Amino acid sequence: NAGVTQTPKFQVLKTGQSMTLQCAQDMNHEYMSWYRQDPGMGLRLIHYSVGAGITDQGEVPNGYNVSRSTTEDFPLRLLSAAPSQTSVYFCASSYSSSLNTEAFFGQGTRLTVV
Amino acid sequence: AQKITQTQPGMFVQEKEAVTLDCTYDTSDQSYGLFWYKQPSSGEMIFLIYQGSYDEQNATEGRYSLNFQKARKSANLVISASQLGDSAMYFCAMREGTVQGAQKLVFGQGTRLTINP
């Protein structure tokens, strides 16, 4: 199984450019989420989805958009990239919201905004 | 609001020694789950161990155990007989039992563990 697949693995953007980080999972998981990882701050939740057509904001949603048209895919859009969005981005999925459900993570996308 | 605190930015341990990574949490819910993840230098997040707030026994998974002290709100990870491959960043995380909280994992800042030969 591929699990959670993120593309691209690395990206450099200029300030003001837009782009979409792709995330796909093949485990038929209902729950998907996006995190950003910054040094000294751990992983912070950007947006999450509890199923196709349902999304909600996490801790740091500003500057990011998401949509969930299928169970498999959960893309993250940066509308106008800023240097503050330089980070490592992780997509995660889980099959339920039960307390003991582990999240499966993609390999991450390292984004640099110059 | 739920919060996870890892107070050790870095730890250095000799190979084969046991190591304890600290994690304290803050939540007003009685029902919650605690996780530890390992992030090696390659970057992926690897699930290690889980402890539920109502679990009476401390969780164990191979060389990993969780020292759960509910009254102190701490969930320390213990790695026995450390190996060079244990060198990585370790994250403590929590999921609350509320409808909203269950959708989210809240992470601590992480502890970078280095195992010396």
Whether residue B33 and residue A100 make contact (CB cut-off 8 A), yes or no, is yes
List of chain B residues whose C-beta atoms are within 8 Å of the C-beta of residue A88: 43
Q: For the segment B60-89, what is each residue's pLDDT rounded down to a tens digit?
A: 999 999 999 999 999 999 999 999 999 999
- Give CA–CA dist B73/B70, Å, rounded: 5
Residue B107 to residue A35, Cβ atoms within 8 A: yes
Alpha carbon of B73: minimum distance to chain A alpha carbons (Å): 17
Residue labelled with tokens 């500003």: A62
Interface residues from chain A to B (CB-CB < 8 Å): 31, 33, 35, 40-45, 48, 50, 56, 58, 88, 90, 92, 97-105, 107-108
Between A95 and B4, name the one with better pLDDT.
Answer: B4
Q: Answer whether A42 sits within 8 Å of B4, measured CB to CB.
A: yes
Q: Rounded CA gap, B82 and B20, in Å?
A: 10
For residue range B22-68, list pLDDT tens digits in order.
Answer: 999 999 889 999 999 999 999 999 999 999 999 999 999 999 999 99
Beta strand ranges found along B32-99 (DSSP E): 32-39, 46-52, 60-61, 64-69, 74-79, 88-96
Asked whether the predicted pLDDT for residue B102 surpasses 80, the reply is no
Residues of A whose CB is below 8 A from B106: 45
A82-112: buried (b, 16+ CB within 10 Å) or exposed (e) per residue?
A: eeebbbbbbbbbbeebebebbbbbbbbbbbe
d(CA B72, CA B67): 11
**Residue B1 in this model has a pLDDT that exceeds 80:** no
- Give burial (CB, 10 Å; 0-12/13-18/19+) of B22: middle
pLDDT of residue A97: 77
User: For chain A, what is the mean pLDDT?
Assistant: 94
